[in-house]
Amino acid sequence: MATVKADRRQRLKYHIRKKVKGSSERPRLSVFRSNTSIYAQIIDDINGVTLASASSVDLGGRKENSNIDVALQVGKKIAEKAQQAGIQTVVFDRNGYLYHGKVKALAEGAREGGLKF
């Protein structure tokens, strides 16, 4: 089942990436979710550079908080780093994951932090 789930996510990711492109005016906010952590990075696809990144590993102290709370904090942290880099609007790339749970919490945290998408 794991390979079927991973294959499904890869297919979704491919179709999403055909439509979602980040530029220097509107970079892409990409989300990666592992079993233990959540990562977010803001990418300029035209130049191929990462402009800002944040993860639950950077925050530390994950044990006393739930995964949703940590994802919300990561969203706020990536929004803060984006503001420092002068980025106001982004394109959200959920990377094949369902918009639910940790991914949704990260997006809401980024919106609360001031990012527009």
What confidence score (pLDDT) does residue 104 get? Answer: 97
3-state SS of 53-88?
EEEHHHHCCHHHCCHHHHHHHHHHHHHHHHHHCCCC
Beta bridge partners of 109: none
The distance of Cα 90 from the centroid of its chain, to the nearest Å, equals 11
Quote the tokens at residue 110: 């980024």
Q: What is the pLDDT of residues 25-78, one digit of tens each?
A: 899 999 999 988 999 999 998 899 999 999 999 887 556 678 899 999 999 999
Spell out the domains of the chain, with CATH numbers in brackets: 2-113 (3.30.420.100)
Q: Give this prediction's pTM.
A: 0.84
